[in-house]
A and B are shown apart, each in its own frame.
Chain A
């Protein structure tokens, strides 16, 4: 069974631009969560989608948005990029809810650098 895939793996953008990241979950998984990882901060939860509905949202500004398609693939968008948005963005999928299932399965992440 193929794992979680994320595209692109690396991205360099300039301040003010916008970016779209993509995530394809494991086949059959309906929950997709997005996280931002920065050094010393662990994983900061962005949002979770389940069956095309945003089920939960972390404490990030409205510049961060996402969506999920009927095939469970998900995208996240960051508009008006800031230097502080430079991070590893991780996508995770699970069969049910992100916090209750026997763990989430993570993709390798997209490394975003904002200059």
Chain B
């Protein structure tokens, strides 16, 4: 039973355009969400997070949106750059548990 789902295994976007990566969750107790980026042969690196008291968090080209009623979050990258090609993971946790629950990841490919 996957509590965090990333339904798109891969996504291809033209350089300069917007990339939108999606993540759905089932546990209504989740109150903190994170996005990580992973290059081959490296560990994931933290990108951006959002608390459930917010519906949007922005950091440079990266914006995360949270829709609590739909149990859905998305990561927007604008504009997309070749260096953004990587696997993106979303993860979630609740206030009573230190454990992060991870999605399966979405491979983003930025085409020149």
Contact = CB atoms under 8 A, between A and B. Distances in A.
Interface of A: 4, 33, 35, 40-45, 48, 55-56, 58, 90-92, 97-100, 102-109
Given A97-B98, A99-B94, A107-B43, 6 more contacts: A90-B43, A98-B98, A98-B99, A100-B93, A105-B43, A106-B44
A103 B2 CA distance: 21
27 contacts: A40-B9, A41-B104, A42-B4, A43-B100, A45-B100, A48-B98, A48-B99, A56-B99, A90-B44, A91-B43, A97-B98, A98-B100, A99-B97, A99-B98, A99-B100, A100-B93, A100-B98, A102-B46, A102-B49, A103-B34, A103-B49, A106-B36, A106-B42, A106-B45, A108-B41, A108-B42, A109-B43
Nearest to B100: A99
Nearest to B46: A103
A4 B43 contact: yes
Contact of A43 (B32, B42, B44, B98): B44
A44 B89 CA distance: 12
A94 to B, nearest CB: 9
B102 interface: yes
Contacts of A45: 99-102
A13 B101 CA distance: 29
Interface string B1-45: 000101001000000000000000000000010101000011111
Contact of A55 (B46, B93, B98, B101): B98
B108 to A, nearest CB: 15
Interface in B66-106: 89, 91, 93-94, 97-105
Nearest first, the 4 A-B pairs at minimum CB distance are A106-B43, A103-B46, A99-B93, A42-B104
Nearest to A3: B43
